[in-house]
Amino acid sequence: MIPTLEWTPAGVNFLDQTKLPHTETYVLATDYKQVATVISDMIVRGAMAIGVSAAMGVAIGIDRSTATSIPELTAEVDIICKTLAETRPTAVNLFWGIAQVRELYNQLAAANTPIPEIKQQVVALANCLYDEDIANLRILGANGAALLPDEATVLTHCNAGALAACGYGSALGVIRAAIEAGKKIDVFADETRPFNQGTRLTAWELTKDNIPTTLICDNMAGYFMGQGRIQAVIVGADRIAANGDTANKIGTYSVSILAKEHGIPFYVAAPFNTIDPETAAGSLIPIEQRAAREVTHVNGVQVTPDGVNIENPAFDVTPAKYITAIITERGVLRAPFTESIAAMAHKA
């Protein structure tokens, strides 16, 4: 399993995904501010990994605090949570991870729990969330594998694999589970401009697992669908609205329309905590705008003329009408998603 992030006695250790595929190196974050920087600079990325990273960021902030009273520590926790919440706005898992640790802290603080015990419990929770992420994604993978034919080429956009989680992955977890079940699956990976998660991360991750992978440019998907060479599309998600509208890496919306036109199933694979019941529809999901340099430069070399205007939204929203099913660890959701999501949430 690819070690994306790990709690250690020295701090939280992160695989530096900005250096892949050429260099496998790690960044050690020894306080919550460094964890926030790791998230905002996309050293760690992917909704699931961001969620657990945020939880570990709150935990390490509490663990390293020198506060001697609950009121003093609570004031610090407010700052810690605010700092981490401001790193990336679109992935709801970020806020989920912060809330998990914050809620436990609030309970312990209200009970006047000794500070050393608070530290121990929040660190234990962050590590528990790490383990749960891997376990849940294995279940999700098995749920999704059942939807794939015995032999298929699957298109994926961006990276929703082990690198986007604590291990195994969501979209790529479905592919892994299908192969483990004996199905013959190969992958087309979109390059995913401008940050090239498909080029740098998905292709690297799948080739390390010896899964047959073909890298294609973002504008080639329609061609290969028209040639009959793609049987399914599987992507991850950064936030799913209550009606099933899904925010994922920029370009996902276009792929969904192409899949619909060609009669190809379009699956979203994401843990259930990626669904945000407070967001009624995709139009309400905040879309992160990233630096122009990601578009203007390639490998540090400027490829655009000076003075040209740049837009760089990191995500787009795929309307629920283009989604065949949403695969979660709790089961597979189908339209009408407003009803199926609410029913699954109620069962929990």
Give the per-residue pLDDT at 198.
Answer: 97
Per the listing, tokens 């098995």 go with: 142
pLDDT tens per residue across span 71-128? 999 999 999 999 999 999 998 999 999 999 999 999 999 999 999 999 999 999 999 9
Distance CA 46, CA 238 (A): 7
Distance CA 60, CA 285 (A): 29
Per annotation, catalytic residue among 63, 190, 238, 276: 238
DSSP codes joined into one string, 190-247: E--TTTTHIIIIIHHHHHHTT--EEEE-GGGHHHHHHTT---EEEE--SEEETTS-EE
Please give the structure tokens belonging to residue 255.
């792929």
**Residue 238: active-site member:** yes
3-state SS class at 71: helix
Exposed / middle / buried, residue 294 (Cβ in 10 Å: 0-12, 13-18, 19+): middle
Give the per-residue pLDDT at 347.
Answer: 80
DSSP codes joined into one string, 171-195: HHHHHHHHHHTT-EEEEEEE--TTT
CA atoms within 13 A on the CB side of 175: 33
Give the per-residue pLDDT at 1.
Answer: 65
pTM of the model: 0.94
In order of their start, the domains of the chain are 5-138 (1.20.120.420), 142-347 (3.40.50.10470)
Q: Which residues of the chain have pLDDT under 70?
A: 1, 348
Distance CA 298, CA 201 (A): 16
